């Protein structure tokens, strides 16, 4: 976000400690030498920064925005994936401006990162939608995580059993390399089906 200009004003709100706040690039860097505190007032598409010091001032800082292409690049997903998430209700599509492209806020990128991390943990899109709807509801979120963990443990148990059967079949093949017929083919035909 970039500090664009200052005008005389005063207000109250959320205060940040003295000094040049991390993440802000000011068009008047010397101004922050005299900064006693900084108040942020959030609005649609911008942040108003009220400076408190020997003087008081206001700075307008634009929030970072992305076109769908840039959003996809930052999130490392395809544009069609973003559109699919929008159709699924996981991501809100911003309104189309009178001219130019739709602009996605930083929160859209954070949402995409959340979706990707949840998918890596095995959550389906339907489950992710439920997680997002729960928000800060810790008990229900924990219950979903416990249910997912139980499913993962069951799959691990099954995979270990499959591994044991496959290792046994391979050992049989290695023990009788010249034998007629294949233990693996026989097993897959129904004799020793791992499932």
The domain locations on the chain are 3-62, 65-134, 139-188
Distance CA 62, CA 45 (A): 6
> What is the pLDDT at residue 116?
96
46-96 pLDDT per residue, tens:
445 554 555 445 454 556 899 999 999 999 999 999 999 999 999 999 999
> What is the pLDDT at residue 184?
79
The pTM assigned to this predicted structure is 0.58
Residue 2 Cα distances to 14, 48, 60, 122, 148, angstroms: 19, 11, 8, 39, 43
- CATH code given to domain 65-134: 1.10.1660.10
């Amino acid at each position: 976000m970039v500090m664009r200009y200052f005008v005389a004003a005063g207000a109250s709100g959320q205060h940040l400690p003295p000094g040049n706040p991390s993440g802000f690039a000011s068009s008047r860097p010397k101004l922050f030498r005299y900064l006693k505190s900084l108040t942020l007032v959030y609005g649609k598409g911008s942040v108003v920064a009220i400076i408190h010091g020997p003087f008081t001032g206001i700075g307008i800082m634009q929030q970072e925005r992305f076109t769908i292409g840039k959003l996809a690049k930052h999130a490392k997903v395809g544009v069609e994936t973003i559109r699919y998430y929008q159709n699924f209700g996981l991501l809100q599509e911003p309104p189309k401006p009178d001219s130019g492209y739709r602009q996605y806020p930083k929160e859209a990128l954070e949402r995409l990162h959340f979706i990707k991390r949840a998918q890596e943990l095995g959550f389906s899109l339907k489950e992710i939608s439920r997680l997002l709807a729960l928000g800060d509801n810790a008990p229900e979120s924990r219950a979903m995580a416990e249910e997912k963990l139980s499913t993962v443990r069951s799959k691990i148990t099954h995979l270990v059993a499959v591994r044991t059967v496959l290792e046994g079949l391979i050992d049989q093949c290695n023990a009788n390399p010249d034998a007629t017929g294949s233990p693996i083919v026989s097993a897959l035909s129904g004799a020793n089906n791992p499932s």
